[in-house]
Structures are given as C-alpha cells and as structure tokens.
Structure 1
Amino acid sequence: MGHYDNIQNFYFIGIGGIGMSALARYFNAEGKKVAGYDRGRTELTRQLQEEGIEVISSDKVEDLPEAIQKDRESLIIYTPAIPKDHPQYLHFTADSYTMEKRAAVLGNLTKGHFTLAVAGTHGKTTTSSMLAHLLKQSGLKITAFLGGIAENYNSNLILDGEEAMVVEADEFDRSFLSLSPNLAAITSMDADHLDIYGEDAQIKESFKAFAALIPEGGKLFYANGLPLLGTSVGVDDDADVAAVNIRVKNGSYHFDLRTKEKTFEGFELSLPGKHNLQNAVTALAMAIEFGAPPGFLAEALASFNGVQRRFSYRIKRDDLVFIDDYAHHPSEIMAVHQAVREMHPGKRVLAVFQPHLFSRTRDFAEAFAESLSLFDELLLLDIYPAREKPIEGITSEWLLKLIKNDKKEMVSKEELSEVIKSKNAEVVVFMGAGDIGNEVEKIRKELAGEN
C-alpha cells in the first residue's frame, strides 16, 4: 500500500459510489478503520456494512464517527459529485484535515505497480472487469478496481495480489489523468460530460492526454477508427487485433482472435451485442500483451458472467425476457437495441428509460429521441438529477415529444410495475444510470409472479 501506510482512519464522503466503495473495500481489507457518508441506502451500502464498514446517512458534523472526530490524521476521501456546500466537506476543509479526491487516491495506489488501465466513454467497465477476470483466471495475482459489480465476484474489487493493478480509468472530471498506466485502452471517445468539458473537442484532448501518460515501453490499445496511435482493436475489420470468423450459437458468440503475429482460435463469449465483442477483443489483446498464457484465455473468457446492470438478464424465458442495463447515452442505447434485436429477433420490445442529468438530456436530445424511437414501445421516467439543479424547459415530457414513436408515454416509478404488466411485452428492457436500478428486483418479482 506504501503511500497510505501511516494513516489509520479513512472517511469517504459519498461511500456508496461505485468507485468510492471499491477504495473503501480495499483499505478495509488492508486492516484500516473505514467509514463513510452516503445519503442513499442501497444493496452496495448494505454490503459495505456487512463487511465491517460504518456507513452513515446523516451529513451532520456531530454525527461523524468518533474515531474520525478524534483523529486529525484521518484521510478524507471525496468524490467530485459531492456538492461543495456539504456540511461534512465544509467541516473537514475548515479544520485542515487531509483531503484527497477519489481519483488522486487511486492514482497514488497505481504508482509503483504495473498498471493496466481501461478508459472510454462506453465499454470501460465491462472491458476492465473482463481483463481482470482473464488475468486472475490465468493464475496471475492482481488487484482490480472496477466501475461495476463483476458477476463472477459479486464485487467491484478483486484483491488477489500485487503482480499488477487493473483499473477503470474514469474521464469524469478528468479523473484518469491522476493514473500511472503501463498498458492502457481507450474503448470510445464519444461526446459526454459536456457539463464538465464544454465541448466535444476538449473530451478528445483529455483522452489524448491520458494516452500520453503511458511510458516508453508501454502500449495503447484503441478502438479501430479513433484518431489515436498504438494498436487498433476491432470486430471483423482491418484492425491490428480483431475478432474474426464470428458465429452466433445458442445465444453466444464464437470467434477467433487475429493479431499481427498469429491467430488464436476457439473463443466463446456469452455477453450479447457487437459492443461486447469489441470489449472482449480489447481485454484479450491487453491480457496477451501483459503476458497471460494464451492457452488459459479461451476458457477464462467463456466463464466471464458480465457486470451487473450491463445487459443483465433478470428473466430469460421463451415467453418473457427482462433485461437491465446501465445505458444512459444515445450510443449505449443503440448498442442495447442492436443486442436485443440480434438475440431476440422478431420479439416485441418495451423499453423503460430514466434519463440521467438535465444537461446530458439537453445536449443529446435529438440523439436520445432517435435511439429511443427504435424500440417498439417506450415508457419514460422523470430525469434523474444526480449532481445537478433543474434546467428550465428540460424535462422528460419535452424529450417525449421529440421521440418519433406513437407508442410512448410518461410513467412514474410508483406505477411502473402496473403499466409494464398491462403492456404484455415479450421483451422488457430497463435503461438508465440513476436509481431505476433499485426498482429492478421488485419488477422482476412482479413479472415472474413471485409476489
């Protein structure tokens, strides 16, 4: 751990966040005293408490754990999504506690370790989780900080050794510029986070700055077609590393992996969608470059079960399919649509979408309308604000009017299960990065007739 050896108490403002909770789990596993604040109660915060981490939902200073109040040497870790008028944040700032952003802490942990980092506006969570799984299953001792819950481990942290670190590199707030990557991937560079970046060109510059962090002797893998230098990765195209000879059998992809040196045969991937094939090729290319024995990789990939809320099947019957996905950007919605149509051809598909952020809804309104129009029927929830204040005129009702599909309606979370059941759809797809995920288990039970 090095950098943080002498600190005993760690306090996280926003501990329920996916990146924050992985760090909390790491320090807890290292025998440190870990606590944190989060306003929401989720399955993840419940698990953290089960693991011995104190989670409080009060933002009052007097409700801080006693150990943190007494120990002025505590490290306070916060996320940029925390409002700057948060009472505990203000207290720690005024009282001269040592405070570090999540990204800086992750950056300090990667220093001194061989680091494989996966960046991209889409695909980074699945690719980094896949890469960590491939390396671990190949017998390598790794630590991985993931941006989602890997189904194989029911965790966003893999703590198995120090031969290498695998990290998801987050572009939000330019966080990934704190990392020290030896091997890196950039899966996509679509416009996003325009609330932070202002415009698309700045996002591209930020990704190029990330690529520039790779030292001599390192390597960058990137999705074929991006304006980058390194090793291109693709699906059935002219990329340096590509999936070729692709077949779909029993809902799984079967393919070979062509590199400049040779072709590796006999891979199987059970995650639907061309975007996941691209993710798999990227993870395999990085694993081979790192030195994972190629002989182990086909079996390892076949055993990868995906990431929660990334095209997760919650019901999979002949007469009813229920899929949950984190898609919150038009190109992610397009990818989900492609995967649904490929895996469930001819079925009637009902999409349920919760927009995430007023600014994103405004910035990509036309593209959202176009991608959401592709489904047979649409239920639209109110915009999930996350870190934002409302923007006048930017509402889900406004977005609904732009969608060129007659079978569309607004719905509240309270009436969601009744409306879904009344539709009798063959395939139901949940999409969104807000709190729509908290409704999934309840709806699953309703649809499966378990209530």
Structure 2
Amino acid sequence: MPQPTASQTSARTPRHYHLIGIGGTAMASLAGLLRSAGHRVTGSDENVYEPMATQLRGLGIDYAEGYSPANLDVNPDIVVVGNAISRGNPELEAVLERRLHYTAAAVVIKDEFLRGKHVLAVAGTHGKTTTTSLLAWILESAGLNPSFLIGGIAENFGTSFRLTDSEFFAIESDEYDTAYFDKGPKMWHYLPVTAIVNNIEFDHADIYRDEIAYNFAFSRFINLVPRNGALVAGWDSPLVRELAPASHAPVESFGYGDDSGGADGHPRWTARDVSFGEEGTRFTVLHDGREWGEVRTPLTGAFNVRNCLAVIAAAESVGANREGVLEGLRTFASVKRRMEVRGEVRGVTVIDDFAHHPTAVRETIDAVRQRYPGRPIVAVFEPRSYTAQRREFQEAYRLSFAGADRVVLAGLFHPERYTAETAMNPHELVDAWRAEGKTADFIPEPDDIVARLAPEFKGGEVVLVMSNGGFGGIHGKLLDALGS
C-alpha cells in the first residue's frame, strides 16, 4: 500500500479521524489517503463488501462492525460522516449530542489534499471510475507521478488511492450528495483545474428532484474551472454540448467517429478506424482533423473509446509525454468490478460489472458482445440502486437488455422502500422480454439464480453479472457450482 513521504507527513499535524461509513468506496479510499498522510484512522460500518474490505484490512485500519455510540470512545479529533449516514443512526446521534467536530468526506479531501494542486477531476453520469483510473495510469506512464482518489480498485496500482509529491491529483468527481447536512454534490468541493465531463444523463432520482436540478449540478461544476484550466467535454452527449459553451476555460471536445476536426461544432478529438476484438481495441486518434497517434488498449466497447479520448485530451492539456500516454493506454489493466473477468469454468466465462443505469447496462452488454462475438450472453441483473428500482426507468431497462440472449432479473433491494406505483415491476419486465422472444426469468435470490443457471450451461456462455452491490457473492458461487 502507498506510504507517506517525509514531505507529506511533515506538512501536516497528525490528527485522529474517525469515519462513520468507512466501508464505502470513497470513504475507504479517503481512509487510505489519511493514513498515508500520517493521520490516525478509525471507523465504523456494517456489511462491508469487496474490494474495500480487503483494502481496509491491508491498510491495517481497524473499524467497528455496526454503528454504536461506543465507537466514539476513542475520542477522535474529527468525525467524517459518510453520505450514506442519516439522522437516526445511533453513532451520528452521539456525535451531535457530544458536540464533536464533524464534517464531510469531500471537505476533508479538499482541505487536506487538493488545495494548491492541479486537480484533474473526472465527472459524468457514466464511466467515471474507469476514466479516472485510466487517467491516473497514463499520467504515471508519462512520468508525472500523480496522486489519485478513485471509486474502485485500479488494478495497475492495486489500490483506489495514492498520495505523492506531484502537483497533479486525479480524482473521481461524483455528483451524488455530500452529506446529510450538505445536499450539494461532492464534485463541487473538488477544485477542478482540468475537468472531464464524459456525459450527462438523468440519474440519482433519490437526490435530484428532476433533470433540471441534475443538469444544474454539472453546469456549476463546469463553472468552477479556471480560465487557465481546461474543460474536456464529451460531444456525443447532447447535454454536455449544451452546457460546455458556458465554460470560462478552453474546451477540448471529444467524440466517437467524427473526424471533422472541431469545425462547425464537431469534436476536436475523434477516433477513426476503430477495431474491436477479444484482446481489446485499436483505433487512430485525430486532433483537429490531424492524426495524433495509434492507440492499442485492452479496453473494449464504444464507451471506452470515448474514455480513452477523454484522458488523451486531458493529458495533452497538462503537457504529458505522448509516448508515455500511448504506453499507458496499451498497458492499462482496468478496474475491479468494471467488466472484470472473475473466472472461466467448463467454457463458461463469468464477468462482474458495476453497471446499474439503463445506459450503462446497454453499453456494457454491447461491449461484451464486441469482445466475445458469437457467444451467448446471459445478463444477470440486480436492481439495487434507487434509480434501478424506480418505475419511471422500467421502459429504459426493457430496451437496455436488447443485446443479451438471456436475462435473469433478481429481486429489488429493500423493496419496502417503494410502493406499487413507484417500484419497478419485475414480472412486467420479464413478460415484455418474453413477448419479444427473449429467454427471461425473475429469480429474486442469488442462490436460486446459481441453482437454476449452473446445470443449464453447455459451455461457451458469457455470464455478465451487473450490480452496484455485493449481490450475495453470486460470482464466486456460480463459478464454484460450475466447478462441482
């Protein structure tokens, strides 16, 4: 795990931070950054799932299982309240009653690590984790030694965070809210100098009342970029195109397969001669219509071509070495839980992916189809996020699974939070897919899904498991069942 340098630790007075909700991807990464900076870190959480449980254990950070006022008896200097923690949590209530110093993770990140840095902030509805990981790795390959904070384990580094003496800090910039006492998005705290906005599409219906409020979050983020910075804007997203002209910083636009060279509103960075295969993707990058370089990358899917263009534009904006950037693209090892092959048994490949928004589901299935042409795709989906379970997204989900040969839909996560009017109806979805001639089933429990699928596989199937949670450890259970 990353260790603090002398200059890092000497610049800060060591404090004791206690993180309530330490097992979340952002909070566990912050815990690692604070530990690297020489601070003492404790915390609490419940039901911590991989890969963050392993990362916390590797860091030697002790955390309490479950929330309790007793967890605060360690007398921390500062309590960091995770954005999943709300009033009524017994530990939070004790923080308030004892009048302890508390704050939000995004504020700590800004004040401890981002001030004075050239922050490369990656925002957008889809692709933030992969894009930030890719950006950090190409900056590393170009010799810039960046610090980073990512909402997932970047496999090239084996961690979700790093703290260095570099002026560059790459950070995943989430539009989700900051804390129960700060309902603005986390990304507003991150002091972007180079900002990537990949795409904008309504999400997080539990946080934003409508699309207008959601879009405003991004317009204000764009407004934070200084004039001597850069906005790297995804031109294939109509909303990004609409908001980008308000930027005070120069706009580096990128888009898939349009080589008009930035003229007449076309993107400045484009891809040509794109070729997908089981080993990855090849394409030619054009900047303002002129050839910039030939990219080879293990990534696949049209959305990952866009991610590559985004990080190339960002790297160019900070003067990164071009050969180093290309080498980073070639050697990128992806992110855990982003099209991660968990294993292959009896010719059946099991893939784990974090996709949960309808667009992300569709694009992930398309990418798997491009990587494994001719093989049957079995999509297993757990509607776990608030957006995934809302009825207003049901039709979008019906369409998003068009590329799969078979669909298995798991049960809603905490269905008691919804009514018949507000919740997705799994039976209606399955009936609609069957009416289209697709094999589809509603099987609520992960163990029952494994018991149903494993005996039916003949070999050659690609099982794409999609959830933004642990999904009952279904990936390992399915591989074990296939092996037995």
Aligned pairs (5 A) from 1:150-229: 150-173=154-177, 174-225=185-236, 226=240, 227=242, 228-229=244-245
SS in 1 for 2:335: coil
Q: Distance in 1 between matches of 2:344 and 2:272?
A: 28
> What amino acid is aligned across from residue 124 of structure 2 in structure 1?
G
Residues 376 and 407 in structure 1, CA contact (< 8 A), matched pair in contact too: yes
* C-alpha distance 437-281 of structure 1, shift in aligned 2 (>3 A): farther
Matching residue within 85, 95, 98 for 1:95: 98
Deviation at 1:266, TM superposition (A): 2.4
Deviation at 1:264, TM superposition (A): 2.3
Residue number in structure 2 paired with 1:139: 143
Structure 1 segments (4+ residues) deviating >4 Å: 1-4
SS in 2 for 1:27: helix
> What amino acid is aligned across from residue 215 of structure 2 in structure 1?
K
Residues 356 and 383 in structure 1, CA contact (< 8 A), matched pair in contact too: yes
* C-alpha distance 391-248 of structure 1, shift in aligned 2 (>3 A): closer
> What amino acid is aligned across from residue 299 of structure 2 in structure 1?
L
Q: Distance in 1 between matches of 2:384 and 2:451?
A: 23
Residues 11 and 36 in structure 1, CA contact (< 8 A), matched pair in contact too: yes
Matching residue within 371, 376, 382 for 1:354: 382
Residues 155 and 334 in structure 2, CA contact (< 8 A), matched pair in contact too: yes
Aligned pairs (5 A) from 1:65-144: 66-68=73-75, 71=76, 74-108=77-111, 109-144=113-148
> What amino acid is aligned across from residue 154 of structure 1 in structure 2?
G
Residue number in structure 2 paired with 1:328: 356
- More displaced 10-residue stretch of structure 1: 16-25 or 416-425: 416-425
Q: Distance in 1 between matches of 2:53 and 2:344?
A: 28
> What amino acid is aligned across from residue 467 of structure 2 in structure 1?
G
* C-alpha distance 3-193 of structure 1, shift in aligned 2 (>3 A): farther
How big is each residue's C-alpha offset from its partner over 1:118-151, in whole Å with a ceiling of 9 and x where there is no partner?
A: 0001011111110000001111121100011111
Q: Distance in 2 between matches of 1:403 and 1:85?
A: 40
* C-alpha distance 250-327 of structure 1, shift in aligned 2 (>3 A): closer
How big is each residue's C-alpha offset from its partner over 1:358-415, in whole Å with a ceiling of 9 and x where there is no partner?
A: 5542231110122134421111111224xx9511122553453464235221221122
Matching residue within 403, 414, 417 for 2:447: 414
Q: Which runs of 5+ in 1 are unaligned?
A: none
Q: Distance in 1 between matches of 2:327 and 2:297?
A: 10
- More displaced 10-residue stretch of structure 1: 112-121 or 48-57: 48-57
How big is each residue's C-alpha offset from its partner over 1:246-300, in whole Å with a ceiling of 9 and x where there is no partner?
A: 2235532112221128422221011121101110110111111111111211111
Residue number in structure 2 paired with 1:17: 24
Deviation at 1:89, TM superposition (A): 0.8
Residues 10 and 32 in structure 1, CA contact (< 8 A), matched pair in contact too: yes
Q: Are residue 338 (structure 1) and residue 346 (structure 2) matched?
A: no
How big is each residue's C-alpha offset from its partner over 1:140-196, in whole Å with a ceiling of 9 and x where there is no partner?
A: 121100011111122111233332110000001111111101000101100101211
* C-alpha distance 275-396 of structure 1, shift in aligned 2 (>3 A): same
Q: Distance in 2 between matches of 1:91 and 1:246?
A: 56
Residues 358 and 391 in structure 1, CA contact (< 8 A), matched pair in contact too: no
Residues 378 and 406 in structure 2, CA contact (< 8 A), matched pair in contact too: yes
> What amino acid is aligned across from residue 24 of structure 1 in structure 2?
A
Matching residue within 361, 371, 383 for 2:412: 383
Q: Distance in 2 between matches of 1:7 and 1:158?
A: 18
> What amino acid is aligned across from residue 308 of structure 1 in structure 2?
K
Q: C-alpha root-mean-square deviation of aligned residues, in Å?
A: 2.2
Q: Distance in 2 between matches of 1:399 and 1:444?
A: 30
Residues 267 and 298 in structure 1, CA contact (< 8 A), matched pair in contact too: yes
Q: Distance in 1 between matches of 2:338 and 2:472?
A: 11
Residue number in structure 1 paired with 2:180: none
SS in 2 for 1:440: helix
Q: Distance in 1 between matches of 2:345 and 2:376?
A: 14
Q: Distance in 2 between matches of 1:438 and 1:6?
A: 41
Q: Are residue 235 (structure 1) and residue 256 (structure 2) matched?
A: yes
SS in 1 for 2:446: coil
Q: Distance in 2 between matches of 1:130 and 1:446?
A: 34
Deviation at 1:8, TM superposition (A): 1.4
SS in 2 for 1:327: coil
Deviation at 1:58, TM superposition (A): 2.4
Deviation at 1:444, TM superposition (A): 2.6
Residue number in structure 1 paired with 2:394: 365
* C-alpha distance 85-288 of structure 1, shift in aligned 2 (>3 A): same
> What amino acid is aligned across from residue 265 of structure 1 in structure 2?
G
Residue number in structure 2 paired with 1:59: 67
Q: Distance in 2 between matches of 1:47 and 1:103?
A: 20
* C-alpha distance 140-437 of structure 1, shift in aligned 2 (>3 A): farther
* C-alpha distance 26-76 of structure 1, shift in aligned 2 (>3 A): same
Residues 384 and 435 in structure 1, CA contact (< 8 A), matched pair in contact too: no
- More displaced 10-residue stretch of structure 1: 182-191 or 438-447: 438-447
Identity of aligned residues (%): 27
* C-alpha distance 157-396 of structure 1, shift in aligned 2 (>3 A): farther
Deviation at 1:312, TM superposition (A): 1.1
Residue number in structure 2 paired with 1:148: 152
Residue number in structure 1 paired with 2:35: 28
> What amino acid is aligned across from residue 446 of structure 2 in structure 1?
K
Q: Distance in 2 between matches of 1:182 and 1:17?
A: 26
Q: Which runs of 5+ in 2 are unaligned?
A: 1-7, 178-184, 246-250, 261-266
- More displaced 10-residue stretch of structure 1: 420-429 or 260-269: 260-269
- More displaced 10-residue stretch of structure 1: 269-278 or 360-369: 360-369
Number of equivalent positions? 442
Q: Distance in 2 between matches of 1:255 and 1:24?
A: 38
SS in 1 for 2:152: strand
Matching residue within 230, 239, 255 for 2:283: 255
* C-alpha distance 358-249 of structure 1, shift in aligned 2 (>3 A): closer
Q: Distance in 2 between matches of 1:141 and 1:340?
A: 32
